[in-house]
Amino acid sequence: MSLRLPTGGRIDRNRTLTFRFDGRTYHGYHGDTLASALLANGVKVVGRSFKYHRPRGIFGAGSEDPSALVRLGDGARAEPNTRATQVELYDGLVAYSQNNWPSLKWDISAALGLLSRFLPAGFYYKTFKWPGKFWPYYEHIIRHMAGMGEAPTDRDPDRYEKRHAHCDVLVIGGGATGLSAAKDAAAEGNDVWLVDEGIPEAPANVTVMARTTAFGKYDDGLYGLLQQSSSDQAANAPRQILWLLRAKRVVLASGAIERPLVFANNDRPGIMLTSAALRYLDSFAVRAGRRAVIVTNNDSAYEAARKLIDGGIEVAAIIDQRHMAERHEIAGCEVLNNHAVIDTAGRGGLRHVTIAPLDVNGDAVPQAERRIDCDLLCLSGGFTPSVHLYSQAGGKLAFRDDIQSLVPDTDVPGLEVVGAANGDDIAQASAAIALSHAPGKQFIDLQNDVTAADVALAAREGYRSVEHLKRYTTLGMGTDQGKTANLNGIAVLGRALDKPMADVGVTTYRPPYTPVTIGAFAGRDVGAFLAPTRRTPMQEWHEDNGAVFVPAGMWRRPHYYPSPGESPSDAVSREARMVRQGVGIVDVSTLGRIDLHGPDTAEFLNRVYINGFKTLAIGMCRYGVMLRDDGMIFDDGTVARMDEEHYIMTTTTANAGPVMAHLEHYLQVVWPELDVHLTSITDQWAVTAVAGPRARQLLENLDSDMEFANQALPFMGWRAGQIGGIPAQVYRISFSGELAYEVAVPAGHGQACWEMLLAAGKALDVIPYGTEALTTLRVEKGHFVMGPEADGRASADDIGLSGMLSKRKDFIGRRSLRLPALAPEGRLNLVGLLPVDGKTAIPPGALILDRATAAPEAEKAGHVATAVFSPNLDQPIATAMVINGRGRLGAQLWAHSPLDNRIVPVEVVHPVFIDPKGERLRA
Interacting residue ranges for another protein, rule: CB under 8 A = 219-222, 246-249, 413-414, 629-630, 661, 664-665, 668-670, 672, 810, 814-816, 818-820
Comparing CB distances to another protein, the nearer of 168 and 184 is 168
DSSP alpha helix (H) spans, 551-627: 568-581, 601-608
Comparing CB distances to another protein, the nearer of 584 and 631 is 631
Comparing CB distances to another protein, the nearer of 373 and 664 is 664
**In the complex, what is the shortest distance from the CB of residue 895 to another protein, in angstroms, rounded to a whole number?**
34
Comparing CB distances to another protein, the nearer of 402 and 810 is 810
Closest CA to 285 of 62, 39, 60: 39
Comparing CB distances to another protein, the nearer of 632 and 903 is 632
Dist CA 741 CA 891 (whole Å): 37
Dist CA 524 CA 612 (whole Å): 49
DSSP 214-266: EEEEEGGGEEEEEEEPPTTS-TTS-SEEEEEEEEEEEEE---EEE-----BTT
Helix 274-284 with 300-310: angle, nearest 10 deg = 30
Instruction: Please give the C-alpha separations between residue 141 and each of 144, 152, 341, 448, 479, in angstroms, as whole numbers.
Output: 5, 19, 37, 17, 21
Comparing CB distances to another protein, the nearer of 409 and 629 is 629
**In the complex, what is the shortest distance from the CB of residue 170 to another protein, in angstroms, rounded to a whole number?**
11
**Beta partners for 859?**
none
**In the complex, what is the shortest distance from the CB of residue 790 to another protein, in angstroms, rounded to a whole number?**
19
Extended strands (E) in 655-780: 677-680, 685-691, 718-723, 726-731, 740-746, 767-768
DSSP 17-69: EEEEETTEEEEEEET-BHHHHHHHTT----EE-TTT--EE----SSTT-SS-E
Q: In degrees to the nearest 10, what's the CA dihedral of 444, 289, 322, 473?
A: 0
DSSP 809-874: S--TTTGGGGSGGG-STT-EEEEEEEETTS-SPPPTTPEEESSS--STTSPEEEEEEEEEEETTTT
**In the complex, what is the shortest distance from the CB of residue 220 to another protein, in angstroms, rounded to a whole number?**
4
**In the complex, what is the shortest distance from the CB of residue 665 to another protein, in angstroms, rounded to a whole number?**
6
Residue 860, phi then psi, degrees to nearest 5:
-75, 125
Q: Burial, 152: exposed, middle or buried (Cβ in 10 Å; 0-12, 13-18, 19+)?
A: middle
Comparing CB distances to another protein, the nearer of 13 and 248 is 248
Extended strands (E) in 92-239: 93-97, 160-172, 192-195, 206-209, 212-218, 222-228
Dist CA 405 CA 407 (whole Å): 6
**In the complex, what is the shortest distance from the CB of residue 417 to another protein, in angstroms, rounded to a whole number?**
15
Dist CA 168 CA 186 (whole Å): 10
**In the complex, what is the shortest distance from the CB of residue 164 to another protein, in angstroms, rounded to a whole number?**
10
Dist CA 719 CA 730 (whole Å): 5
Dist CA 211 CA 234 (whole Å): 16
- ω into residue 102 within 30 of 0, thus cis? yes
Dist CA 364 CA 376 (whole Å): 22
Comparing CB distances to another protein, the nearer of 90 and 666 is 666
**In the complex, what is the shortest distance from the CB of residue 606 to another protein, in angstroms, rounded to a whole number?**
15
Residue 460 neighbours by CB under 8 Å, 6+ apart: 496
Phi-psi region of 520 (alpha: psi -120 to 50; beta: other; left: phi over 0): alpha
Q: How many Å separate Cα 753 from the centre of its chain?
A: 44
Beta-carbon count within 10 A of 3 CB:
17
**In the complex, what is the shortest distance from the CB of residue 786 to another protein, in angstroms, rounded to a whole number?**
20
Dist CA 743 CA 754 (whole Å): 9
Strands 685-691 and 740-746: antiparallel
Strands 256-258 and 415-417: unpaired
700: number of CA atoms within 13 Å, CB side? 11
**In the complex, what is the shortest distance from the CB of residue 224 to another protein, in angstroms, rounded to a whole number?**
14
Comparing CB distances to another protein, the nearer of 408 and 582 is 408
Strands 902-909 and 339-345: unpaired
Residue 871 neighbours by CB under 8 Å, 6+ apart: 573, 574, 576, 577, 776
Cα angle for residues 675, 680, 683 (degrees, 5° grid): 160
Q: Which amino acid, 824?
A: P
Comparing CB distances to another protein, the nearer of 603 and 630 is 630
What is the C-alpha radius of gyration for the chain, rounded to an integer number of angstroms? 38
Comparing CB distances to another protein, the nearer of 235 and 661 is 661
**In the complex, what is the shortest distance from the CB of residue 816 to another protein, in angstroms, rounded to a whole number?**
7
Contact status, residue 149 vs residue 80, Cβ threshold 8 Å? yes
